[in-house]
Amino acid sequence: MKYTNSNRNIVFLSTSLPRECGIATFTQDLLDELQHIKGFNKPSIIAINNKETYNYEDQVIREIDQHKLSDYIETADYLNTSDVDLLVIQHEFGIYGGVSGEYLIPFVERLAIPFVVIFHTVLTTPSTKQRHIMNRVAELSVKAVTMAQSTVTDLTSIYGVDAAKISFIHHGVPHVQTGSRSELKEQYGFADRKILSTFGFLSPGKGIEYSIEAMRGVVEQHPDSLYMVWGKTHPVVKQETGEVYRQKLMDLVDEFDLTRNVRFVDKLLTQDEVIQSLVMSDIYLTPYLGKDQAVSGTLAYGVGYGRVIVSTPYRYAEEMLANGRGLLANFRDSVSLEACILLLLNNPARITEMENRTLELGKTMLWNEIAKTYADIFQEIIQDSESTTIKHLGVI
């Protein structure tokens, strides 16, 4: 895998595209940026598979059956005898095998190469098993990354992670060239509309029904407003319950006579489509139901492109929308959502002010900047590991 002795070899343990998974997209975005940074060969992926079969690109050098413990052990042995300098583990409880993904523990215990873990979920009330898994993985890692400042303390106080190992790095946002808001509205046929939007996999925890209900009051004052719900049903939800949630939402639209003011785009969006949907939006909505959600990739994208955001006060939203970067409505409260939306639509100058504030933070979250932060950490870890090895060899 090495092309020169100076270039570093990084491998990710993660889900991988074309699997429809937010972590797969996150990994791909980071990988794409790292390969352009001096000092690294093109990174590779060890893909965690569920029961589906995927047509992977050649960047996937190995696959692990999520539910097959022997695959984890064999992969650890493979890495230990390879020329891989550093492994990056994307951690989410649901993508690994065993109870709460416990198969990851024997894997990291067998590893002889340094690894970084990126925690995508940090629960405030974990089960005993969940707490043990995160504590053990972090204990054996050389660095534990979290994407919300609010979870740094949780990792130490709840999960017992060594504070010296923790790094806070924002969720990355892809840089995509698009037309202006007015140009995109014209392109999509919405030139005279006020666009509100939500994107991402549909699932009952998204709380879209409350936004739809809020639109009843919004359209009374702003009949030109249009709420766009972009994205297909989450693959796991669709497998378990089909399109029950989407149909519930569509029934609400009919019940409230909002067919002119609410539209669904039932497809897996390309990266360009995601960014276009954001750029042409006047307001971005995340009416999620779970208060403990520590990170939201969709909210990060909204901040990255300087959108005015109306959200429920889950943990990540409270952090990211502080200092006048958005408005927080009450959970499961369409009246509260309606009030926030109208406050903005009735005050265009306030929208402009909030967009400017949000964009200041958003510019620091683009993947080309975030990848540099990761690259510096990776290089430092590898150099420290090599220095330690040399010292040990000197003693021998």
- Convert the pLDDT of each residue in 178-196 to its tens digit: 999 999 999 999 999 999 9
> Which CATH number describes the domain made up of 181-365?
3.40.50.2000
> Which CATH number describes the domain made up of 10-172+366-395?
3.40.50.2000
pTM attached to this predicted model: 0.92
pLDDT in the model for residue 131 = 98
387, pLDDT greater than 90: no
Tokens of 14: 């993660």
Q: pLDDT band at 385, cuts 50/70/90?
A: confident
Domain boundaries, the chain: 10-172+366-395, 181-365
Tell me the pLDDT tens digit for each residue of 202-211. 999 999 999 9
pLDDT in the model for residue 390 = 58
Closest CA to 378 of 84, 70, 25, 81: 84
Q: Is the fold of 10-172+366-395 the same as that of 181-365?
A: yes
Q: pLDDT band at 5, cuts 50/70/90?
A: low
Residues forming a β-bridge with 119: 91, 146
392, pLDDT greater than 70: no
Cis ω before 114 (30° cut-off from 0): no
pLDDT in the model for residue 51 = 87
Mean local confidence (pLDDT), 119-130: 96
DSSP per-residue letters across 308-328: -EEE---HHHHHHTTTTTEEE
Q: pLDDT band at 171, cuts 50/70/90?
A: very high
Helix axes 181-188, 271-279, angle to 10 degrees: 110
Q: Decide: 87 and 79 in contact? Cβ < 8 Å.
A: yes
